[in-house]
Amino acid sequence: MSVTTAQGFTAAGLAAGIKATGKADLALVRNLGPDFTAAAVFTSNRVKAAPVQWSEQVIKDGKLQAVILNSGGANACTGPDGFADTHATAEAVADALGIGAIDVAVCSTGLIGTRLPMDKITGAIPAIVQQSSTDGGDDAAEAIMTTDTHSKQATASGSGWTVGAMAKGAGMLAPGLATMLVVITTDAVIDAAELDSALRQATAATFDRVDSDGCMSTNDTVIAMASGASGEAADRAEFEAALTAVCHELAQQLLGDAEGAAHRIAINIHGAVSADDAIMVGRTIARNNLFKCAIFGEDPNWGRVLAAIGTTDADFDPDQLDVSFNGIKVCVGGSIGEPRELVDLGPREVAVDVDLHAGDHETTIWTNDLTYDYVKENAEYVS
Amino acid sequence: MSVTTAQGFTAAGLAAGIKATGKADLALVRNLGPDFTAAAVFTSNRVKAAPVQWSEQVIKDGKLQAVILNSGGANACTGPDGFADTHATAEAVADALGIGAIDVAVCSTGLIGTRLPMDKITGAIPAIVQQSSTDGGDDAAEAIMTTDTHSKQATASGSGWTVGAMAKGAGMLAPGLATMLVVITTDAVIDAAELDSALRQATAATFDRVDSDGCMSTNDTVIAMASGASGEAADRAEFEAALTAVCHELAQQLLGDAEGAAHRIAINIHGAVSADDAIMVGRTIARNNLFKCAIFGEDPNWGRVLAAIGTTDADFDPDQLDVSFNGIKVCVGGSIGEPRELVDLGPREVAVDVDLHAGDHETTIWTNDLTYDYVKENAEYVS
């Protein structure tokens, strides 16, 4: 159930002293081969953290032998000095492993705009390399947590091969990608172009449909590494399905642990003229604070859903909109439908179905409600 | 200090029984002439309330003799029946005044998606017409409040003429326009085209720069009426300045009373290549929940400002961004600037200055922080 479930990988996690709390804050995932195939997807935020800038470069040859990850600091908006820190981290890992820094990706997560304590990181690298083992996946998943209340892992199996994965993320969750770090491992034999294509398909259908709080991170990174250690070549369709299943499972774990959330909300858009329209309408609802507060208050406030849809330029006729909360169609034809008293928003899982009656496309956007605890965590979060 | 400060206007406000609390919920503003010039600006939300659909029609001839306003129900998303209710309200006012319904605008505010108690509204119209007086402005301003904690009024004077105004609004405040009803009166002599043009200029520079919570209403309406009772023709520039001053004052009152807010935040964007870029960047910051929570927590979290800017496609180089909180430049050249400990975010007024260093355009977007009380009000608001 971890990144070391797939053959050919070792991992470790430890407390390097980056976090003032003394909790684990440094993780390593190492690919022992025989293949070193890799692919990655990064945040589309134009303000990119130093580790994103570094990893975007080293992934270009489609190969990686290790990923070093730290929590306790995002190393974002830290200028040339911050980039030098990332470079030095990769070099230290490369030195300890006897490989080149170009085969080491770096991920960081935590507060934006502060330098990392580099002496602590480089000082801990010999130890983390030594600890790295085939059952170190759980420790690595623990070490990348920030405001996460638990670690996130998932696995899937194919015909003779396995996929394992870990993720962190609990806030700043929005498309392109959610604020998160994800490392996916597989022992399947697959070439870099296929791995990259499968990864992009899988993330587009899962992480990119999560919009917890509309805030996009500077550090999002999803890295996939294939060791080929199973000796089994992956069937493309089967592999993409397994990868998508793992990403979906992790995305749901991210949503389930979203900062302060009391409800997990699936916004299902039906009858859109295009996939883009469906996504736009879904995201606009997901980002509407009044709607999110209403769900927290267990109020099936369909008027706020219509008010949100009305701000988009999607194709629809206001008099044709239907909205259901947990199966009760409270809005029919843009006006009053079933009594809102029939809706029970007590359960954590909420489904909002919107039919635009304009076409045949549909999608689901996942979000959370807006709660006291969200405000509390994000008013007080400084580490 | 009210809509009856300008000569030629009467007004009234009373409790018709629409609100379960028994508070005032019906207001009338009447223009006695000799001119009946009018102009209006409405929400750009495509889901428009019935009173907006009605008032958009009756304003087309540039004339109005009365505006009837109710709180306690938005009459939005109520279908053909809701439109008939608005029409019946206008007819009842017209009957009582001996005028045509085409000279009566209607405004409603409150919960979306419920029908109005029409018997109570039409039953109260004879009384409100009778009560209407030249010192009824304060009562009218009280009667349009929903979650407002106080009524909002403003006046300005020109060369021999006066402008008076009232507004309601405390939530769902976002551009195009904020969730609000505004009635502006003047005794200046001005033609309908000039009044319309001056009103659009004034609202674009004031209400359209307010983005309290990113949520756009279905009912926003700003109506201006000119009685010509002063006999003084308004100089266009002077009149637009007076109108803008009144709208600015009301916009600041709306922000000051925004639901649950603890800080009023001016986001000043400098160095943009265009006005559109400046507005886009300012709004994107204003809508970022993590930034808004940070201000509530009195944390000058400039990293969240950069992360928000990075999601826009405005012209800028991430390495050139400067950010100041209350005059302390905590981010210089996209990286760490002055110590954040120097920033005091205790006062209610907060100024965030962002320099894109890309051009010469600048703007200010006004917003609020995201607080426990915002969540509380909007999780519990059902009337």
Smallest Cα distance from B36 to chain A, Å: 32
Q: Mean of the pLDDT values across residues A355-366?
A: 93
- What confidence tens digit (pLDDT) does each residue in A309-348 have? 887 889 998 889 999 999 999 999 988 889 989 999 999 9
The pLDDT assigned to B381 comes to 56
Work out the pLDDT band at B177, boundaries 50, 70, 90.
very low
Whether B305 contacts chain A with CB within 8 A: no
Identify whether the C-beta of residue B232 lies closer than 8 Å to the C-beta of residue B159. yes
Whether B78 contacts chain A with CB within 8 A: yes
Q: Report which listed range, A87-91, A344-348, B197-201, B318-322, is most confident.
A: A87-91
The pLDDT assigned to B12 comes to 96
Q: Is B146 annotated as a binding residue?
A: yes
Determine how β-strand A328-332 pairs with β-strand B328-332.
unpaired
| Identity of residue A258 | A
Matching fold, domains B9-256 and B264-380: no
Whether A371 contacts chain B with CB within 8 A: yes
Distance CA A260, CA A266 (A): 17
For the cut 50, the answer to whether the pLDDT of residue B372 exceeds it is yes
A104 forms bridges with which residues in the sheet? A66
Q: Report which listed range, B11-15, B58-62, B70-74, B263-267, is most confident.
A: B11-15
Token pair belonging to B47: 């889901």
Q: Mean of the pLDDT values across residues A115-140?
A: 96
CATH of domain A264-380: 3.10.20.340
Smallest Cα distance from B344 to chain A, Å: 15
- DSSP-derived 3-state class of residue A224: strand
Cross-chain Cβ contact B370/A213 below 8 Å? no
Identify whether the C-beta of residue B156 lies closer than 8 Å to the C-beta of residue B246. yes
Question: In whole numbers, what is the pLDDT of chain B averaged over residues?
Answer: 87
Smallest Cα distance from B78 to chain A, Å: 5
Work out the pLDDT band at B179, boundaries 50, 70, 90.
low
Out of A5, A122, A179, A185, the active site residue is: A179
Domain boundaries, chain A: 9-256, 264-380
Work out the pLDDT band at B208, boundaries 50, 70, 90.
confident
Least confident of A60-64, A177-181, B83-87, B116-120: A177-181
What fold is seen in the domain B9-256? L-amino peptidase D-ALA esterase/amidase (3.60.70)
Identify whether the C-beta of residue A352 lies closer than 8 Å to the C-beta of residue A323. yes
Work out the pLDDT band at A212, boundaries 50, 70, 90.
low
Going by C-alpha positions, the residue among B58, B28, B30 that lies closest to residue B125 is: B28
Q: Is B63 annotated as a binding residue?
A: no
What residue of B is the nearest CA neighbor of A171? B290
Work out the pLDDT band at A46, boundaries 50, 70, 90.
confident
- What confidence tens digit (pLDDT) does each residue in A242-292 have? 988 888 888 888 777 777 788 989 999 999 999 999 988 998 898 888 888
Cross-chain Cβ contact A336/B115 below 8 Å? yes
Cross-chain Cβ contact A335/B77 below 8 Å? yes
Least confident of A366-370, B62-66, B91-95: A366-370
The pLDDT assigned to A381 comes to 57
CB proximity under 8 Å: A 262-291 to B: 287-290
Residue A41: enclosing H or E segment and its boundaries? strand A37-42
Q: Which of chain B's residues have a Cβ under 8 Å away from the Cβ of A299?
A: 379, 382
Question: In whole numbers, what is the pLDDT of chain A averaged over residues?
Answer: 87
Facing residue for B379 by CB, picked from A45, A47, A293: A293
Q: Is A203 annotated as a binding residue?
A: no
Looking at residue A340, the DSSP 8-state letter turns out to be G
Work out the pLDDT band at A176, boundaries 50, 70, 90.
very low
Token pair belonging to B243: 């109108």
Q: Is A179 annotated as a binding residue?
A: yes
Token pair belonging to B245: 């001053």
Cross-chain Cβ contact B113/A374 below 8 Å? no
Q: Mean of the pLDDT values across residues A229-233?
A: 91
Smallest Cα distance from B119 to chain A, Å: 20
Distance CA A234, CA A236 (A): 6
Q: Is A142 annotated as a binding residue?
A: no
Phi, psi dihedral angles at A36 (to 5 degrees): -125, 35
- What confidence tens digit (pLDDT) does each residue in A190-210 have? 999 999 999 888 888 777 777
Residue A111, Cβ neighbours under 10 Å: how many? 17
